[in-house]
């Protein structure tokens, strides 16, 4: 973790001030099953305004979601014949998608807000159907334990830090 921009313009034209908030965080981790995980987050990368790109890299393929193109996801199928490998765009607003009934007619653009609307609908439907939403305090605590381990590792100059997010004693 690091602070890239240390002096910034203060609100209301009050001049410049010193900042210590982290602008960038990079994480490399080893999961319990042996898989290597990599995450990076920054608000100061030079590129598009809201380039939030999420990928899952696997032996047989790679899904990719981009917040600048909410109507689709990309999927790279490594098992396809070599002449057909590459990212395939899958439209999620077409008939047959589980959420299509809650969105505009096919062919219309989804906006950033639609993801939040869908979360609210899923939450309300889960309550109405007495379905456990599968996330709770323990999940939030586990995320916090991982974030604290990232911070400890950063303070220790990128030393590997062991964390067992669902076990408070480890």
Q: What is the pLDDT of residues 111-166, one digit of tens each?
A: 777 777 777 888 888 888 988 877 788 889 998 998 898 888 888 887 788 888 87
Mean per-residue pLDDT of the chain: 83
DSSP characters for 56-103? ---SSEEEEEETT-TTEEEEEETTS-GGG-SEEEEESSSTT-TTGGGS
The pairing of strands 36-42 and 53-55 is unpaired
Rounded to whole angstroms, the Cα distance separating 69 from 129 reads: 32
Least confident of 68-72, 100-104, 150-154: 100-104
Rounded to whole angstroms, the Cα distance separating 101 from 42 reads: 35
φ, ψ at 163 (rounded to 5°): -140, 135
| 48: pLDDT strictly greater than 70 | no
Sign of CA dihedral 124, 129, 131, 137: positive
Least confident of 32-41, 66-75, 97-106, 135-144: 97-106
Rounded to whole angstroms, the Cα distance separating 170 from 168 reads: 6
pLDDT at 53: 75
In terms of pLDDT, which residue wins out, 103 or 35?
35
pLDDT category at 169 given cuts 50, 70, 90 is low
pLDDT digits (tens, 9 = 90+) for 3-20: 888 998 898 988 999 988
For residue 32, give the DSSP letter. T
pTM for the model stands at: 0.62
């Amino acid at each position: 973790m690091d602070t890239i921009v240390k002096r910034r313009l203060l609100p209301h034209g009050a001049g410049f001030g010193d900042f210590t908030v982290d602008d960038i965080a990079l994480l490399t981790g080893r999961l319990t099953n042996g898989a290597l995980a990599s995450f990076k987050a920054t608000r100061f990368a030079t590129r598009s305004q809201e380039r939030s790109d999420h990928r899952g890299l696997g032996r047989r393929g790679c899904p990719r979601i981009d917040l600048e193109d909410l109507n689709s996801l990309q999927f790279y199928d490594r098992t396809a014949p070599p002449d057909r490998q590459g990212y395939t765009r899958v439209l999620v607003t077409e008939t047959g998608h589980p959420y299509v009934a809650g969105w505009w007619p096919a062919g219309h653009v989804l906006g950033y807000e639609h993801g939040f609307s869908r979360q609210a609908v899923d939450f309300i439907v889960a309550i109405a159907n007495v379905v456990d939403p599968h996330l709770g305090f323990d999940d939030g605590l586990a995320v916090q334990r991982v974030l604290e381990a990232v911070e400890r590792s950063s303070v220790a100059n990128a030393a590997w830090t062991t964390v067992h997010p669902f076990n408070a004693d480890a």
